[in-house]
Structure formats: C-alpha cells, structure tokens
Amino acid sequence: MVEIRWHSRAGQGAVTGAKGLGSVVATTGKQVQAYALYGSAKRGAAMNAYNRIDDEPITNQETKMYPDYVFVIDPALAFTDDITKNDKPETQYIITSHLSKEDLIAQIPALQDKVERTHVVDCMQISLDTIGRAMPNTPVLGAFMKVSKMYELDFFLENMKKVLSKFPQKIIDANMEAITRAYNEVK
C-alpha cells in the first residue's frame, strides 16, 4: 500500500490531481482511492487530498493516514500546515517552493532531520511558465514520478494525456511540459 497526503489550497487542483493520479494508476491494474477532506471550504482555504494505491482492493475507509509521500503544492503551507503529521521514518516530502532545498529546510525545523527525504521543486513557476497560471497539481506528479520511480516518465505522460483528453490540445501540451520540467527539476 502506498499512501499520499496532499497539502493544498482549495482551487489549486489537489482533488483533480489526486483523481488524475488515481486514473493513471488504475489503468495499470492497481487499485486506488482518491479523496479529499473538505466540506464548506472556500477557495484559498488550506485543505488535504489523499491517495491510496495497492495491488489488492482497498477497504480502508478511515480518512486519517500515515503517508508514504506528502505533497505540499502551496509554498506557504510548508510553513503553516503540520506537514509532518502522522509521518513514518520513511515518509518522503515533495514541496513546492522557489527557495533552494537548503534554504527551505533551514526555515522549517520539522524537516531538519529529513533532509534526504525532502525534495523541492518550484511547481508554481513551472505552471506559470507552461500552463500560464499557478496550477501546481500536475507538475507535482512529474516530481513524484522522479522521486518514487513508480512509472517511467514517458509511460506516465502517455496515460496522463488520456486523463486530460477532454481539455483542448494546447492545455494538454502545456501540462505535459509542466510534468516533464518538474520531473527534471526536482531536487
């Protein structure tokens, strides 16, 4: 079982990203869950989304999880959210920031004993450059592919294209570029 917790703001596409990841993974014969903790959330409010991935049908319906991966797709949430909540000794962190890995970790005490497990990528700048607006949800998946080695980049891009097929070609191309850049740039 692989468990992922997303830290996001409502409107940044964490739910769409979690469902997109789930859709790609489901095509490979695995079982997935993608869900979020929201209700009366307003755009901009801090929220969590979640993924579970396993070879067997997933029957765990508990909301809380002990994540293997934590995605922080809003830069400020790395400072204000409890991003290491319920973590494990092997939990990996992928954090969106314009700061270098060293500068970011220096400012977040909770990450200072997790240097090897912390990965930094500027999904905000990447999405601004490629998609044209701050939409960090797809680039973070590129970084995730690099960190987790779950799938080859090309395989993931091909399947992600299918998930995004209802969008105009221009948007799909921009997302592919964003995923590729994040894959290459994550440190």
CB 45 within 8 A of CB 76: no
Min dist CB 163 to another protein, Å, is 9
Min dist CB 114 to another protein, Å, is 25
| DSSP-derived secondary structure for 36-69 | EE-SSPPTT-EEEEEEEEESSPP----S----SE
Coil, strand or helix at 185:
helix
Residues that bind another protein (CB under 8 A): 18-19, 22-23, 26-27, 31-36, 39-40, 57-64
| Cβ proximity to another protein, 26 vs 147, nearer residue | 26
- In angstroms, the CA 59 to CA 119 distance is 30
Min dist CB 95 to another protein, Å, is 25
